[in-house]
Structure 1
């Protein structure tokens, strides 16, 4: 089976990227195409794939640069803040929405409440070292957490607030990971193009008694974030 030319070029281009080092500018597309003996279209395809892989980053009006290594997040019931700080990064959050809405049938089932009951919705852009990497929306039943708005700093750690101030003890969670394309609104919030692959996580967390705590939808930039899980037999 023949290998597409742009894939061959991409493989060779990885060696160039590794030789340049983090943050270095990639030579212009036309220069690389001439050096590799391929068309600019083929070179453009190879560069686009390396951008999608997180190896390169395009800056509008400036060029293409070698990207910093991806952040690797654990698939575990841990605080986003603590996970990033443990890797030497500075976490931050920007609140988009913090309101209440009636639960639809799917959300009600995940939270163990009746359809139409009110839920807190907290939507935030997640940052690492000042760069947006994810968009997280968390839903919690108002009946279970009536004082949430009064005690939570929405720019801080929700996990820490639930455990330290509201006495919640996380027991287990279920997480589904899939790849998606962002909506125009999501792409704008994450300062990304709609063509950039995204990783979408759906998580339902439960306490030590098996009672649902939260339902979470997290959208991450595929060029900035990867995930790691520990598997045991």
Structure 2
């Protein structure tokens, strides 16, 4: 289907010469109007700075002489890219994404290194019989008792993820009594129990949150999420924990150091 001339504009390099990467820009140089508008709003975000409110849709439509729906589409993409975030009923400029290393380090350590304050809110800590598939991963018998620890993750006062941890009760029998759910679980294992991590298998994929997960994290269900599955082992090679961690795709990136 041909695109109407009204919905596209010739792509122009910004006056400052800072042209964006050409990925997604067709060779004929015409782009959807919302994409053109995104390129015009980007310098405005730099001028405003992190946490500052964006002008209303009506103000942006008047400033750039475009339809309100064009503004909405441009803002939707900027929200998904993590350059904007919702704050109450308005929209504000987002800060840089949090960068977490793909390594055997705690969430607490990773967030603190970037000058942010980590936090958690307990959703639930329950004890139940372990199903067969999970029992095989944890190296225990089906039906043995496991803990399920579920917490919402914060960076400063912003909800950024949801973490579920499964660990055998035999490993941490007093978890419900002497663990502070607002603190680092890895710190608890090291400092209170003397448990150390040896290695881990980790898998990263992109998913959409379930309605329950989106509600807990405070995001729209359509927002892409980064999902990490991790099976950690102790220095003797024995399974220690199984983790399912869901992070906001607009607020997180992950890095890994490679060497030959």
* TM-score, normalized by the shorter chain, greater than 0.5: yes
Asked if the contact 1:125–1:132 (Cα under 8 Å) also holds between the matched residues in 2, the reply is: yes
Match status 1:47 vs 2:89 = no
Match status 1:24 vs 2:59 = no
Cα deviation code 1:132-184 (max 9, x no counterpart): 11111100012233233333222211101111222212111121111222222
Deviation at residue 187 of structure 1 after TM alignment: 1.6
After superposition, residues 36-75 of structure 1 pair within 5 angstroms as: 36-61=64-89, 63-75=90-102
Deviation at residue 59 of structure 1 after TM alignment: 2.9
TM-score, with structure 2 as normaliser: 0.82
After superposition, residues 134-173 of structure 1 pair within 5 angstroms as: 134-173=161-200
Higher relative contact order (CA 8 A, sep 6+): 1
After superposition, residues 1-233 of structure 1 pair within 5 angstroms as: 1=26, 3-61=31-89, 63-233=90-260
Runs of 4+ in 1 over 4 A off after TM superposition: none
CA RMSD of the aligned region, Å? 1.8
Helix, strand or coil for the counterpart of 1:170? coil
Q: Structure 1 CA distance, aligned partners of 2:61 and 2:203?
A: 40
Partner of 2:10: none
Gaps of 5+ in 2: 1-25
Cα deviation code 1:19-44 (max 9, x no counterpart): 22222222222332333343222221
Q: Structure 2 CA distance, aligned partners of 1:58 and 1:150?
A: 37
Instruction: Count how many residue pairs are aligned between Structure 1 and Structure 2.
Output: 232
Which protein is bigger by CA-based radius of gyration? Answer: 2
